[in-house]
């Protein structure tokens, strides 16, 4: 496990919070002091302050059986009530919860009262379809209000959702349905993307036909009106059921440790992991970070997180954090450039968005298009910008602050993961002096360290492996159905410390810089992909004998998938004659098997792969090649001339 820290990170720019911002900031220094004085007590105070408990907890943290943590475990609450009913009861029913903007331009404002009503109806429908406490529901929907309603309706009845990103293939959906043994799938006829209808229902039908048979019912939202097959006895339309259902639904309270959702994410092996999150601890940290990191003033702010609900960012910062905090937010269905490249900025202007949370890859794409596009719109409503998903390079940070933010508003770079459930490292706006490119400091109540490979803490200005040294409320509670994998993946390396899989460096001020993954996980446009998963997809193609995949640095997407494939002898001749066609076929194959996000940028057909004497593929050398760098040290290769041969072929 090596961490590359050879590229010097010399960033000397610092930005003090403006006195006006600091004067009205939500966060204050007292949070750090309180957490330092009593970390566990600090979280108990946050849980009481931010959430409404049906039965108050008396125990804050049980860490008697690490790595299995329990937070607030004798307390009971209903997560959906915390996101909805209690706001209506507090007189906020008329506040807009969601400004929905469809890609074709249709729009709809949904108040907290309306959203609560819809969730209650949907909860009644789910129960009518036989879904109960602890049952799993797969959600495969576009970014439409029904996605939020579905998640909250599942939570309301104590079932467990597993949202699958709409871009995933039927195979990926089927394996997720099977792993969680989902009883119900909620989907739509289709969604709008890049000006076209992308059908979802046929993918669900295909996935169910490939799966092991746990699915009993499919609930289908009509979004696009395209023709879809309906299987009698199994498929039910949302509009036929939810609209007519009763709006009365008495919520039950569930234990704080009751699983709220499973979310699959890529790891170092071929099989995605079902990360399990809890109710009370998860919601506490999602709400706390959403409020303090984004400086949320819910009465006046319009918040917009551009992530899809298919990813953890959409769970914590589109659904649970903002709704627990009674925020008003924008939900946008489509892509940033449809029907024109200024679409996002048009939305910011239309809804007077004040807080924007997005990924560096999007910012870099906009940088390429030039400032004249955002400059056509009035972006003066913005007062805070956030970044997530991958390291943000200082140039992109500065561009974001200046061109989008007008030059003086805070930009917070937030580090966290599917597994951490909520933000772990970030500046707090109004308090922290900002430093472009660095995620900076752990949030109050979070303990982070940087260790060398042998587990000794790295002192002073140096780099190593990022760990979380104490349990935190929104930590994953495990991997669905696989406690051993949970222990092995995160806890084996450093015993009682959580190993995040990221390299990091501390600078002279003590600020943390994230240096990317140190394992075989890639980060493409802020999406996590596993080299092993793409390799096994390539090897599953009848032409492929062997495959190696690397994440190569890419100017826009952060990393890009680059594959090196050896074809089977029987295929070699024909394909050798037309390697372009062979690599196109393999690129398509991966997109069909996993999803378009996994499609390799390049597939190189080669005759050899660089291997050590023990037969391990040296991906480091392939990465050098893919990034057009001088090939590194080849002395441990079984045949040191191999890289020369492969380089010739790749040319
Ligand atoms: O490598 C880190 C990177 O994204 C990984 C987590 O991916 P995922 O579980 O899909 O969650 C993404 C959204 C929270 C991390 O291990 N990452 C995430 N945020 C940052 C980051 N790397 C650097 N800086 C960040 N702000």
Q: For residue 343, is pLDDT > 60?
A: yes
Residue 93 pLDDT: 98
Q: What confidence tier does 137 reach under pLDDT thresholds 50, 70, 90?
A: very high
CA 513 from centroid of its chain's CA atoms? 20
Q: How far is CA 223 from CA 120, 188, 238, 239, 255, in A?
A: 21, 6, 10, 10, 35
At residue 611, φ and ψ (nearest 5 deg) are -130, 150
Q: For residue 575, is pLDDT > 70?
A: no
Dist. CA 526 → ligand 1 center (Å) = 7
Strands 184-188 and 217-221: parallel
In what side-by-side order are the strands of the sheet with 355-358?
Answer: 107-111, 96-101, 328-332, 302-305, 355-358, 384-388, 411-414
Residue 303 burial by Cβ neighbours in a 10 Å radius (0-12, 13-18, 19+): buried
Mean pLDDT of all residues in 151-159: 98
Q: Is the CB of residue 465 less than 8 Å from the CB of residue 3?
A: yes
Rounded Cα–Cα distance for residues 447 and 487 (Å): 19
Q: For residue 7, is pLDDT > 50?
A: no
Mean pLDDT of all residues in 509-528: 92
Tokens describing residue 373: 């596009």
Residue 368 pLDDT: 93
Rounded Cα–Cα distance for residues 479 and 486 (Å): 6
Query: Which of 502, 516, 598 maximizes ligand 1 atoms within 8 Å of its Cβ, making it the mutation to test the pocket?
Result: 502
Q: What confidence tier does 4 reach under pLDDT thresholds 50, 70, 90?
A: very low
Dist. CA 390 → ligand 1 center (Å) = 5
Q: For residue 475, is pLDDT > 50?
A: yes
Q: pLDDT tens digit string along 208-258? A: 999 999 999 999 999 999 999 999 999 999 999 999 999 999 999 999 999
Residue 49 pLDDT: 98
Strands 96-101 and 217-221: unpaired
Dist. CA 574 → ligand 1 center (Å) = 42
Percent of the chain with pLDDT over 70: 98
Q: Residue 36, Cβ neighbours under 10 Å: how many?
A: 11
Mean pLDDT of all residues in 537-564: 94
The closest residue, in CA terms, to atom 8 on ligand 1 is: 417
Percent of the chain with pLDDT over 90: 88
Query: Which of 275, 526, 527 maximizes ligand 1 atoms within 8 Å of its Cβ, making it the mutation to test the pocket?
Result: 526
Residue 8 pLDDT: 42
Q: Could you tell me the pTM of the whole model?
A: 0.94
Residues with Cβ within 8 Å of 557's Cβ and at least 6 positions away in sequence, in order, are 361, 524, 525
In whole numbers, what is the pLDDT of the chain averaged over residues? 95
Q: pLDDT tens digit string along 67-96? A: 999 999 999 999 999 999 999 999 999 999
Residue 6 pLDDT: 40
Q: Is any atom of ligand 1 closer than 6 Å to the C-beta of 544?
A: no
Q: What confidence tier does 9 reach under pLDDT thresholds 50, 70, 90?
A: low
Lowest mean pLDDT among 20-24, 187-191, 248-252, 615-619: 615-619
Residue 285 pLDDT: 99
CA 541 from centroid of its chain's CA atoms? 29
Dist. CA 50 → ligand 1 center (Å) = 26
Check whether the bond before 339 is cis (ω within 30° of 0): yes
Q: What confidence tier does 399 reach under pLDDT thresholds 50, 70, 90?
A: very high
The closest residue, in CA terms, to atom 12 on ligand 1 is: 389
- Three-class SS of residue 451? strand
Check whether the bond before 161 is cis (ω within 30° of 0): no
Rounded Cα–Cα distance for residues 592 and 150 (Å): 27
- Tell me the β-bridge partners of 522: 529
Q: What confidence tier does 57 reach under pLDDT thresholds 50, 70, 90?
A: very high
Q: For residue 565, is pLDDT > 90?
A: yes
Q: How far is CA 40 from CA 52, 68, 163, 579, in A?
A: 19, 16, 31, 59
Q: pLDDT tens digit string along 346-378? A: 999 999 999 999 999 999 999 999 999 999 999
Lowest mean pLDDT among 306-310, 319-323, 388-392, 636-640: 636-640
Residue 572 pLDDT: 63
């Amino acid at each position: 496990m090596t961490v590359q820290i050879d590229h010097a990170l010399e960033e000397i720019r610092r930005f003090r919070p403006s006195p006006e911002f600091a004067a009205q900031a939500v966060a204050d220094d007292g949070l750090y002091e309180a957490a330092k004085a009593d970390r566990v007590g600090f979280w108990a105070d946050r849980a009481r302050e931010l959430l409404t408990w049906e039965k108050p907890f008396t125990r804050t943290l049980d860490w008697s059986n690490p790595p299995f943590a329990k937070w607030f475990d004798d307390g009971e609450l209903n997560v959906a009530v915390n996101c909805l009913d209690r706001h209506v009861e507090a007189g906020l029913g008329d506040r807009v919860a969601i400004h929905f903007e469809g890609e074709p331009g249709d729009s709809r404002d949904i108040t907290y009262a309306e959203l609560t009503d819809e969730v209650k109806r949907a909860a009644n429908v789910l129960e009518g379809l036989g879904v109960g406490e602890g049952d799993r529901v797969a959600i495969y929907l576009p970014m439409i209000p029904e996605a939020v309603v579905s998640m909250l309706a599942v939570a309301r009845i104590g079932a467990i959702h597993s949202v699958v990103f709409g871009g995933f293939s039927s195979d990926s959906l089927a394996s997720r349905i099977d792993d969680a043994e989902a009883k119900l799938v909620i989907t739509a006829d289709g969604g709008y993307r890049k000006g076209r209808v992308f059908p979802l229902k046929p993918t669900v039908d295909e996935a169910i036909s490939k799966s092991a048979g746990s699915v009993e019912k499919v609930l289908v939202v009509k979004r696009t009106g395209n023709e879809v097959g309906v299987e009698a006895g199994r498929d039910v339309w949302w509009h036929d059921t939810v609209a007519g259902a009763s709006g009365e639904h008495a919520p039950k309270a569930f234990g704080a440790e009751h699983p709220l959702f499973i979310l699959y994410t890529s790891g170092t092996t071929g099989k995605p992991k079902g990360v399990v999150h809890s109710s009370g601890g998860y919601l506490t940290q999602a709400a706390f970070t959403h409020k303090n990191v984004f400086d949320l003033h819910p009465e006046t702010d319009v918040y917009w997180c551009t992530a899809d609900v298919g990813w953890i960012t959409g769970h914590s910062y589109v659904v649970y954090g903002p709704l627990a905090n009674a925020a008003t937010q924008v939900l946008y269905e489509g892509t940033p450039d449809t029907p024109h490249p200024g679409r996002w900025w048009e939305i910011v202007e239309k809804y007077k968005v004040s807080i924007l949370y997005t990924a560096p890859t999007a910012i870099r794409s906009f940088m390429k298009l030039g400032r004249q596009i955002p400059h056509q719109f009035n972006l003066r409503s913005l007062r805070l910008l956030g970044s997530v998903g991958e390291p943000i390079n200082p140039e992109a940070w500065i561009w974001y602050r200046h061109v989008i933010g007008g030059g003086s508003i805070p930009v917070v770079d937030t580090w966290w993961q599917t597994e951490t459930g909520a933000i772990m490292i970030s500046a707090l706006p109004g308090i922290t002096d900002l430093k472009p490119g660095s995620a900076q400091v752990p949030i109050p109540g979070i303990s982070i360290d940087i260790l060398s490979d042998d587990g000794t803490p790295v002192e002073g200005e140096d780099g190593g492996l990022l760990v979380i040294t104490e349990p935190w409320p929104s930590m994953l509670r495990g991997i669905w159905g696989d406690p051993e994998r949970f222990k092995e993946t995160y806890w084996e390396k450093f015993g009682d410390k959580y190993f995040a899989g990221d390299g990091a460096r501390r600078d002279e001020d003590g600020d943390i810089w994230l240096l990317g993954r140190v394992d075989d996980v890639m980060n493409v446009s802020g999406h996590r992909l596993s080299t092993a998963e793409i390799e096994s997809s390539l090897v599953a193609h009848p032409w492929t004998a062997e495959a190696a995949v690397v994440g190569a640095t890419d100017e826009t997407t952060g990393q890009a998938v680059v594959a090196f494939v050896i074809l089977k002898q029987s295929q070699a001749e024909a394909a050798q004659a037309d390697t372009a066609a062979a690599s196109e076929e393999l690129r398509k194959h991966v997109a069909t098997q996993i999803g378009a996000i996994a499609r390799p940028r390049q597939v190189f057909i080669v005759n050899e792969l660089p291997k050590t004497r023990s037969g391990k593929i040296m991906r480091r050398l392939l990465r050098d090649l893919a990034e057009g760098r001088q090939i590194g040290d080849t002395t441990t290769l079984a045949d040191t001339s191999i890289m020369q041969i492969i380089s010739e072929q790749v040319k």
